[in-house]
């Protein structure tokens, strides 16, 4: 049932030590991870990884060390606008609810779409999974995704700071919350 599907999204962006971009550069999305969650069946139904070619920045050595992504790897990737089109066409992102771990991804998409004149690819139905997890577990601070996986008794898969792996692990936490009856909707 379409109403029971949720996109869990995680992005990686160009980055630098101390978050200080070189002159003329800005943080841009270079990888979008998507995991489609079927809330009705309690399963992760699909996984996708979209690389994105930056237009206003380069992948720094710091960024490569953090994400594993290289300038060469993203140099021939689709544009941000093309990646947003794929999100809509393949994942129904403009009509399906979506979640991310915190609000960084939401904010980065909002800023980059406005800056680049790209139609925002998501529905207005966004859920901050980190906030839901903290509330469900009675935590006073919002844990990182690896911390939350440990608290939930789950094993993370893949590599931290890789969009598809982080979305996959975020989806496991969404399903954990749904099993507890704590996922909104």
Is there a domain that residue 156 lies in?
A: yes
pTM above 0.75, yes or no: yes
Number of domain units in the chain: 1
| 20, part of any domain | yes
Concatenating the DSSP letter of every residue in 111-150 gives: HHHHHHT----S-S-EEEHHHHHHHHTT-SSPPPHHHHHH
pLDDT of residue 185: 73
Whole-angstrom Cα distance, residue 65 to residue 69?
A: 8
5-13/29-38 β-pairing: antiparallel
Looking up residue 127, the CATH number of its domain turns out to be 3.30.420.10
Q: Is-contact 62 7, C-beta < 8 A?
A: no
**How far is Cα 118 from Cα 33, in angstroms, rounded to an integer?**
19
Between helix 163-179 and helix 145-152 the angle, nearest 10°, is: 40
| Boundaries of domain holding 56 | 2-179
Residue 184 forms part of a structural domain = no
- 101 lies in some domain: yes
Burial class (CB in 10 A: 0-12, 13-18, 19+), 76: exposed
Q: Give me the average pLDDT of each 10-residue run along the chain (185 residues).
A: 82 96 97 97 97 98 97 98 98 98 98 98 98 98 98 96 97 98 92
Domain annotation covers residue 130: yes
- Rounded CA separation 8/167 (Å): 6
Is residue 185 included in any domain, yes or no?
no
DSSP result, 10-28: EEEE---GGG-PPTT----
């Amino acid at each position: 049932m379409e109403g029971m599907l949720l996109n869990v999204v995680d992005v990686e962006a160009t980055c630098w030590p101390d978050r200080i971009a070189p002159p003329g550069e800005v943080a841009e999305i270079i990888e979008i991870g998507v995991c489609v969650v079927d809330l009705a069946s309690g399963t992760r139904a699909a996984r996708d990884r979209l690389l994105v070619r930056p237009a206003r920045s380069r992948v720094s050595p710091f960024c490569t060390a953090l994400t594993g992504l290289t300038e060469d790897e993203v140099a021939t990737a689709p544009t941000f606008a093309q990646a947003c089109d794929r999100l809509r066409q393949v994942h129904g992102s403009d009509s399906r609810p979506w979640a991310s771990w915190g609000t960084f991804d939401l904010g980065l998409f909002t800023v980059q779409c406005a800056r680049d004149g790209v139609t925002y690819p998501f529905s207005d139905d966004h859920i901050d999974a980190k906030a839901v997890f903290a509330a469900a577990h009675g935590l006073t601070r919002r844990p990182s995704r690896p911390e939350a996986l440990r608290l939930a008794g789950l094993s993370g898969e893949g590599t931290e700071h890789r969009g598809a792996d982080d979305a996959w692990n975020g989806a496991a936490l969404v399903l954990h919350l749904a099993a507890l009856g704590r996922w909104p909707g």
